[in-house]
Amino acid sequence: MDDARETTSPEASERVVIERALAPFAGGAQIPRHALLPVLHAVQSSRGWISKDALAYVSERMGIAQAELYGVASFYHLFSLEPSARRVLHVCDDVSCRLRGSRAIVERLSMACAPEGESRDDAAWHRSPCLGQCERAPAALRVIAGDAPTQRSLTLRSPEHAEEVFSSRNTGDHDASASSFEARQPRGALRLLRRIGVANPASLDDYRAHGGYQGLRRAHARGAAWVLRELSEARLLGRGGAGFAAGVKWSAVASAPGREKYVVCNADESEPGTFKDRVLMEGDPFALIEAMTIAGFAVGAEKGFIYVRGEYPLAAERLERAIAEARAHRKLGDDVLSSGQRFEIEVRRGAGAYICGEETALLESLEGKRGEPRSKPPFPVHEGLFAKPTLVNNVETLCAALDVIVRGAAAFASVGTADSTGTRLFCVSGHVAHPGVYELAMGMSLRELLALAGAEFSHIQAVLLGGAAGTFLRGDEIDVPLTFEDTRRVRATLGSGSVVVIDDQTSMMDVLRGLAWFFRYESCGQCVPCRAGTIRVDELVQRVRAKVPLGTWESERERLADLGRVMRDASICGLGHTATSAIESAFERFELWPDRVAKKGRA
Amino acid sequence: MRSEKPKGRDGGLVQIERTIELEIDGRAVRVPEGSTILDACRKLGVDTPTLCYADNLTPVNACRVCVVELEGSRTLVASCSRKAEAKMVVRTESERVKSARKMVLELLGSSVDMSATANFENWCSRYSASPERLGTPPNAPAVIDNDLFVRDYAKCMLCYKCVEACGDDAQHTFAIAMTGRGGEAKIATEFDVSLPDSACVFCGNCVGVCPTAALQFKREHDLREAGEWDESKQSVTKTVCPYCGVGCVLELHVQDDEIVRVTSPSDSSVTDGHLCVKGRFGWGYVR
């Protein structure tokens, strides 16, 4: 900035917090822009909000204009730019938690504690999109600001319990269920989950005792070209949702020109009903570190970032600890395993924005900007983080790649189908007896998965497969094998591996309203089709729910089809492309239009 | 990035321009490497609507009204930012394109007051868009916090142009930014402080690039409010700014013997369409 505005004077304590957060970045002539989110996190967690003075001070220190900083901070919903209570309870009110009683909790909190967003005795609560804790729904995230800030995920067992948590001043520890993982499948069949609940996630020794670092040693012994070949031969497809061939992506980064390259782990798992990446990071953090180190070796990158969603404090904590331990034992650093490989990993935390799961939005966010998707091309493999060639894979994909290297391509592909090799993690939640993460060889049917999770088949109304951006299936469609190709055949998608079971007592229109609200709330607002389209779709869903059409029902159907088409065709990124897919699939597969329901004589 | 101007004037290298050939609506067209599909469309005289695009700003491809169909691409692509490649096959008037443009116009017209946007009505009739079938834009009074220009948010379509002009495409002041998210997104100063309290230097370059008149000269706003704004009565006189030695080209828009607006052509090699506070607003003495 070239204007001479008054030097700002934030509270001395704020200044200390900001300086402490800036310290690790302060080596060069100027503090790099990518330090911004860590700094904003530090301010937010010390006071519970980010004041104008604090922002002005950050602006001065980082040389970024205040308006620009405000634009970034206001993008993320875990940052508050207004005075806020120190104790904040984020109550999940998304699809899975709603099916397990979150509405009663929300009602109780607003009746007995405080209206949403208002402070009472230094405490406040907000509704939140999916917190990724669906196996212990209804869930919440409790954030307490202060000198020793804490963030804890927990289950709200009842409205009474929610009330108690709201007013309690105790920080509480991480919910015990957070760290426990109960395998409901024969352990022998598990690959990605095999160490979870068995090996101590805090112990490198334990990780090694359970097969850890065999993959990296093997990679070092056989060379980068071998790793890339093995990955291609394993025909591993990305597990994040798009199903892109991992071998092709890794090879593209490896062969991209330039010395500076990055490996970025997309751990911004935010697709409603999805929590497998969280389970992997919390239960087996060293596996992700090893996988990224192999990726760095294979593509020629010396630096990796794990972008963990802000709502996953335990995962971030465990990863940080594991990285420090790996570094101390020369599993990271200048000479990894005495092989000459240089590789470092940093954990970066998101701050509440579903869109940052989109890979280019994630890169923008990592760079300290608003999480607005870039237009592609150029693709990240050519111009990614800091405009350098970048490998972006999600947690499960990286862990599966590790499995390829440990087992070898042939053994990896010995389970699954020809087009969908290996195993896949599924997150089952909603109306089932045993919600949780399940690992299945690809090709097993949805029915088999639901049986494992204890679904009552006679009462299944619908299964939402692939998350909010996925597809609804009817109770009679659950024999579909869980593969990329078979789900495509029934016009569905595995998406993120989310499987939400909805029983026949649930109003589908209530579920759809939740999804429509979700996209309206999470659209980044950059492009017109998505920003305006998600609002119009939400309004339309509300009209159907209230049975009050705008014009005729026929015109409403036309409107929904038109909105879906323009969002799929003309939005910038995947959020807009898929924002109507679940909603449209519900209208296709269920009789939800009031005029058609009436004709059939049903209420 | 701005379109590269041929070098050589100041002794630099004159680069040999490489060209590529692509096909648009069945017609072959040859353009310099680095051109966009929009450049190629324009070369063929294919009329392509644009709103967030400007010759003197980096394309942000946010409005999506310029989308075209590109063979081999799953979705439509924004012609303003997608680089043309050899052998591309592009369609600009297919049903998909027409339907997408119609919907974008309807989505915009139903949520933003586009009444002062050049060509908007023509495009609506060209693509049979009826924005009212989706809703009507909300009304809100303009924000008037200074004597030079007003901010009429009811007309703001969030095209990012003003942010770019204020930022690294022209002024490097960074007084405004996109803030918030989704339907709550808004172009604002930090904490929404008034412009005089912000870093704004009142160069008016944001006003110069605004396609919807969400940013308006105060005088223009007053005349519009009074129902006296009449572009048919206006004449435009080209001159050179008298203030300093840079020699910025000015276009004085005059209505009833009064300068009501000052612009600079975006293809001017001196200004790229951008001015400073004096050239933009400092003509009160003329009368």
Q: Give A-chain residues touching B137 at CB under 8 angstroms.
A: none
pLDDT over 90 percentage in chain A = 92
Chain A, nearest residue to B62 by Cα: A527
Angle in degrees, CA A426, A430, A434, rounded to 5: 65
Instruction: Kindly report the number of other CB atoms within 10 A of residue B286's CB atom.
Output: 11
**Does A115 have pLDDT greater than 60?**
yes
Structure tokens at A143: 């954030």
| Tens digits of residue pLDDT in A158-167 | 999 999 999 9
Region A50-67 average pLDDT: 96
Cα gap A314→A307, rounded to integer Å: 14
* Domains of chain B with bracketed CATH: 23-137 (3.10.20.740), 149-286 (2.20.25.90)
The per-residue pLDDT for A81 is 97
Residues A62-72 as b or e (16 or more Cβ within 10 Å = b): bebbbbbbbbb
Selecting from A2, A66, A532 the residue whose C-beta is nearest the C-beta of B107 gives: A532
Tell me which DSSP letter residue A336 carries: E
Rounded to the nearest angstrom, the minimum Cα separation between A495 and chain B is 18
A450 pLDDT more than 60: yes
**C-alpha A165: how far from chain center:** 25
CB-side neighbour CA atoms (13 Å) of A141: 24
Best of B181, B186, B277 to substitute, by most chain A Cβ atoms within 10 angstroms, is: B181
- C-alpha angle A291/A297/A300, rounded to 5°? 130
pLDDT band at A586 (very low <50, low <70, confident <90, very high): very high
Q: What number is the ipTM of this complex? A: 0.93
Backbone angles phi, psi at A34, to 5 degrees: -70, -5
| Chain A: residue whose CA lies nearest to B77 | A570
Token representation of residue A147: 């000198």
Phi–psi pair at A316, nearest 5 degrees:
-65, -45
- Report whether pLDDT(B8) > 70: no
Query: What's the distance, CA B253 to chain centroid?
Result: 18
**Mean pLDDT, to the nearest integer, of A588-603?**
78
Provide the pLDDT confidence category of residue B3 given band limits of 50, 70 and 90.
Answer: very low
A427: nearest Cα among A199, A241, A206, A255: A241
Task: Give the SS3 label for residue A289.
Answer: helix
User: Do A74 and B135 make contact, defined as CB atoms within 8 angstroms?
Assistant: no
A360, A528, A550: best to mutate for the B interface, most B CBs within 10 A: A528
How many angstroms separate the CA atoms of A114 and A136, rounded? 25
The answer to whether the pTM exceeds 0.90 is yes
Q: Do A565 and B134 touch (CB under 8 A)?
A: no
- What is the reported pLDDT for A186? 84
Cα-Cα-Cα-Cα torsion B110, B116, B121, B124, nearest 10 degrees, comes to -30
Chain B residue with CA closest to A74: the answer is B180
Would you call A7 exposed, middle or buried from its count of C-beta atoms within 10 A (0-12, 13-18, 19+)? exposed
Higher-pLDDT residue of A485, A187: A485
Residue B177: strand pairing partners:
B188
A349: left (phi over 0), alpha (psi -120 to 50) or beta: beta
* C-alpha triplet A529, A532, A538: angle, nearest 5°: 115
Tell me what percent of chain A is helix, strand and coil, each rounded to the nearest 5: 45, 15, 40
The three-point CA angle A565-A571-A575 to 5° equals: 95
Counting Cβ atoms within 10 Å, is residue A533 exposed (0-12), middle (13-18) or buried (19+)?
buried
- CA distances (Å), origin A563, targets A66, A254, A410, A473, A595: 36, 40, 45, 22, 21
Q: Where are the alpha helices (DSSP H) in A329-445?
A: 359-366, 395-407, 409-412
C-alpha distance across the termini of chain A, in Å? 63
8 Å CB contact of A577 and B110: no
Cα A493 to Cα A581: distance, rounded to the nearest angstrom: 10
Question: Which chain B residues are closer than 8 Å to A562 by Cβ?
Answer: 99, 103
